[in-house]
Structure 1
């Protein structure tokens, strides 16, 4: 038996299972009548009307919770009644959850649980999330923002059924940040960068083909029952590892002679269990086919999302309605009473090799503040809109599983890692191409000019958003309005793995942002570089802006100075919470702006950022981003450590200091406007202890 034959046995099984029909869970868009109102808006200096209205009402609710929290703290010399008289606007508080797979999700869960115990979770206006952080946020959305839903996770089964944990090191992960280091991969294997085009219809298979596969299935099952187990080598508990080893070794070592009988017996012996794992993917495939049958292109992100939602969401059944973010949020009783923070899922756009092109999903709209300033109503995402005019409308494209998977397209790193492992074999490439075709994904050869690859079309890890709602939008010249599809990826791809950007925009009037960083910079711990990356990107954008972008009521750049990762380590800023931007002097002024004074128009101040780095307070929480299963004990340890990160090991002094940071911007605005009241002396001690600048 040749190596290709061994692989194709598995491939045939996969193919057969994937073309078998089974009950389809609701997934994908459905046609609706186009509304009479505009679906696209040009975002100049304001939020959409829906978010503005919700936020105004939400902050009336959060202000009551903030007052309750401040009263409970009993900060020396702080008079809440006097403070409320100073307050010119409700305090805006946001939370940013970084990427990092299950590590981020579990650490963030503990962080939020402790935040809720102190009464601060109810004070939040917005929660933004990327990648693993978006898994946590999606779970909250699907469970109506019920904190009890994240107090216990059952993730002992692998997130990707049948796939063992993959230990991918930082150096193996290819992103736009280190793409230059991947030049050797690019030059040695052109096929991996074949570009994804619109999906083509699966080839019609005859009834004879079905009979052939059914016969093959029956023979394999019968043979596995009669095998002599003693003739097989001892296998590990992970049944998939045998099949994986056989395939990888047969492709990797061309000179090695494999015992063909032992190989096939080993694979057949594992076949029944392997078939159980395949059923997981059969269900997923049957779910996403509905989207494709309606003419929408599919990507690996569709499959990834359906696998992901089984672990982070509520239990699903065939009677479930479509999990539309817009629909589920706006129909919630908590939404109608303004009891929910506004969720923001963050992603990057890769059309034409764009960098730092940040897109966001809220329950109200989808779009970008920094590269496009265009937004479409989320409910109508997936509709055919040309030049701002709807041609054909759908709802349901904004499935929570798809949006969450877009923000956490982990497959890009896994695919690159696996491809590096087995790419030398031409037989492997052909087999992988056949599998991809089975999934309804089509590839065509990319072009290389002068040693550079043309990235105009998407790669298989891209999430496909087509039709592009901003296509040919008038008077907006951009690569993003010239292409019929958008290609989105993991929100941390460009090195901004802590999604502060969406919370810091002036339009959302944030006074304080809690930022939890569970990135994998050094030994699976963060080192502050993701926060610094954001600062570098942001300041670069500020420098290329023209003076016409200056707004008199917002003279400050939205981010304070952030030090280098080397200083984070030297300054002991990773083992404890640290606040950036406490003093307004730490912010640069926008072009054309002057230092505000009491004669200035009413201004909006930039937010203070409380930065928390994942750190071993009570448990070694530096697990791999690609660790796909956790024992009950590991889950408990990760949750407890997340609680300790937020509370700074249950420090009552620090909790009072959080109160001092909450009120700081109100005092700042009061003083700018000529007032005499200052924060209490106790708060001055807090600012000295926890403020970097």
Structure 2
């Protein structure tokens, strides 16, 4: 159980993981990151060094959230983390490498969920290995084969006969779930397609080979058994999704969205699924999410691909009879033919409701036997921030990566505005730093084309509010390159050269900061400025005043 409003608590397993990571991994990770920042030859205030090298009693608590936006968002989130990865020598030389290793939490939704799911279940490979696979892979059901991004999520072969055969196999793979009397929806089919890209077991050489399981049986709860998780090497991963509930308050829907801000946000972490939101405030073990009765606990329902597919289930937003690509129309026909289920709602992800009868006064799905899960960005909060605002998680700094598609497939800050609006509805449970109230204000002040810090100055009323470091895919890089990162959310295949071009430009976006003059392409103080933001809440707790480069950095990068 999460506990009532104001009395949230972590599961014992999550608390133990976080404690062990902070004790066994983070002290050295902070020192390594500090050394990379110091190597840029910008003099840091002594309090930054003492906080990061462990000589201060205060340490930062960092979380990273990566947004939705299809393959574009998966690539952009991966690219930013590549720039922060201490295993990347170029990132270390740029002065921001190693920050990834210092994070306590990593959240993703929709396209960001594809990235985070693949990273966690594949045992935390480097980003290049994650996307492109290993140079000499072992082709096996439990081995990682890369994203296989050159194969379309819709019609991977380009040959209509081969693709129809492929669709048939995807539908046939759902027969076991159907025979076990679970609801089978289009999200299950979608998840089997995603499994070929973001779950172990699929390689270019075996993509159409049905003698392989293609991620079936790879569980989200089994991430806990990976070497990286066992050694506390990876930030605690969480996937966010939205809940479509009966009788939901449509007056709380943002324009153009389908889920009200007042619906609970559902999270899937390795140990539990549920919500800290006060309208539910309850969790169930991820391992047993297939359980439908009180006598036998069912396992193997929490397929990693289904978690990623549920977080990216956008199909309730389209007309199934006319708006889906023709290849998906064929898939629906196959599902209806092979797995007939009169009355089943096909355009959601269906999960047995472990909260049946819980909080009937506030939880709108309390009387439903199945939860209807949809894309985590359908309430407008396209960055999974809410789950990192949980006070029991104690985060004091959050890096928000925004690859939303708002204008010309660039982000315009709308996702942050939605989070601010939702926190205003739940102000007794969460706190959020002030951000602009309109997207036009974001763009007018270039807040999406430069790293921007929100919530720099605290008062007694908001001292527990995290400082937000906002890094958006908001426009061209400052070096004058033609932008390549604003691809359409509907683009469902990418060649290796296109992805590499995007990664290269994302590296520039992540390392350029905000140059102080038009003649500069990078801010040489950006690594120091980033470090100043990361430690700022710890600095405040230590009773230190901002000074030196940190004082000038936050004056430049903080939004007021």
Instruction: State the TM-score, normalized to the length of structure 2.
Output: 0.81
Structure 2 equivalent of residue 656 of structure 1:
528
For residues 66 and 522 of structure 1, the distance between their equivalents in structure 2, rounded to whole angstroms, comes to 37
For residues 535 and 573 of structure 1, the distance between their equivalents in structure 2, rounded to whole angstroms, comes to 16
Structure 2 equivalent of residue 124 of structure 1:
103
Structure 2 equivalent of residue 625 of structure 1:
489
1:296 positional shift: 1.1
For residues 512 and 2 of structure 2, the distance between their equivalents in structure 1, rounded to whole angstroms, comes to 43
Residue-by-residue CA offset, 1:105-158 (whole Å, 9 max, x unaligned): 111121111111311111111111110111111110221011242353542221
1:394 positional shift: 0.8
1:459 positional shift: 4.0
Structure 1 equivalent of residue 130 of structure 2:
150
Structure 1 equivalent of residue 432 of structure 2:
559
Structure 1 equivalent of residue 225 of structure 2:
331
- Residue 626 of structure 1 aligns to a residue in which SS? coil
1:504 positional shift: 1.4
Closer/same/farther in 2, CA of residues 422 and 583 from structure 1, 3 Å limit: closer
Structure 2 equivalent of residue 281 of structure 1:
167
Structure 2 equivalent of residue 574 of structure 1:
448
Closer/same/farther in 2, CA of residues 81 and 515 from structure 1, 3 Å limit: closer
Structure 2 counterparts to residues 140-539 of structure 1, below 5 A = 140-147=119-126, 148-152=128-132, 154-161=148-155, 273-316=159-202, 317-318=212-213, 322-327=217-222, 329-354=223-248, 355-356=260-261, 357-370=264-277, 371-385=279-293, 390-413=294-317, 415-416=318-319, 419-420=322-323, 435-444=334-343, 459-466=345-352, 468-473=353-358, 478-539=363-424
Contact 2:108–2:240, Cα closer than 8 Å, also in 1: yes
1:581 positional shift: 0.7
Q: Does 1:139 align with 2:125?
A: no
Of 535, 544, 549 in structure 2, the residue corresponding to residue 682 of structure 1 is: 549
1:383 positional shift: 0.8
For residues 79 and 541 of structure 1, the distance between their equivalents in structure 2, rounded to whole angstroms, comes to 35
Residue-by-residue CA offset, 1:386-414 (whole Å, 9 max, x unaligned): xxxx332111111100000000114344x
Contact 1:86–1:667, Cα closer than 8 Å, also in 2: no
- Residue 373 of structure 2 aligns to a residue in which SS? strand
- Residue 487 of structure 1 aligns to a residue in which SS? strand
Contact 1:88–1:666, Cα closer than 8 Å, also in 2: no
For residues 156 and 19 of structure 2, the distance between their equivalents in structure 1, rounded to whole angstroms, comes to 47
Structure 1 equivalent of residue 29 of structure 2:
65
- Residue 559 of structure 1 aligns to a residue in which SS? coil
- Residue 105 of structure 1 aligns to a residue in which SS? helix
- Residue 584 of structure 1 aligns to a residue in which SS? coil
Residue-by-residue CA offset, 1:521-547 (whole Å, 9 max, x unaligned): 1121111111101101110222xx5xx
For residues 129 and 412 of structure 2, the distance between their equivalents in structure 1, rounded to whole angstroms, comes to 30
For residues 516 and 658 of structure 1, the distance between their equivalents in structure 2, rounded to whole angstroms, comes to 14
Structure 2 equivalent of residue 108 of structure 1:
77
Closer/same/farther in 2, CA of residues 69 and 282 from structure 1, 3 Å limit: same
Q: Does 1:53 align with 2:16?
A: yes
1:352 positional shift: 1.0
Higher RCO (Cα < 8 Å, 6 or more apart):
1
Where in structure 2 are there 5+ consecutive unaligned residues?
Answer: 86-90, 92-96, 133-146, 203-211, 249-259, 514-521
1:289 positional shift: 1.2
For residues 79 and 490 of structure 1, the distance between their equivalents in structure 2, rounded to whole angstroms, comes to 42
**RMSD between aligned residues:** 2.7
Of 587, 599, 605 in structure 1, the residue corresponding to residue 464 of structure 2 is: 605
For residues 8 and 507 of structure 2, the distance between their equivalents in structure 1, rounded to whole angstroms, comes to 37
For residues 62 and 432 of structure 1, the distance between their equivalents in structure 2, rounded to whole angstroms, comes to 47
Contact 1:344–1:361, Cα closer than 8 Å, also in 2: yes
Which has the larger share of helix? 1
For residues 308 and 289 of structure 1, the distance between their equivalents in structure 2, rounded to whole angstroms, comes to 18
For residues 349 and 441 of structure 1, the distance between their equivalents in structure 2, rounded to whole angstroms, comes to 25
Contact 1:59–1:92, Cα closer than 8 Å, also in 2: no
Closer/same/farther in 2, CA of residues 645 and 343 from structure 1, 3 Å limit: same
Closer/same/farther in 2, CA of residues 519 and 417 from structure 1, 3 Å limit: farther
- Residue 74 of structure 2 aligns to a residue in which SS? helix
1:384 positional shift: 2.1
Count of aligned pairs: 488
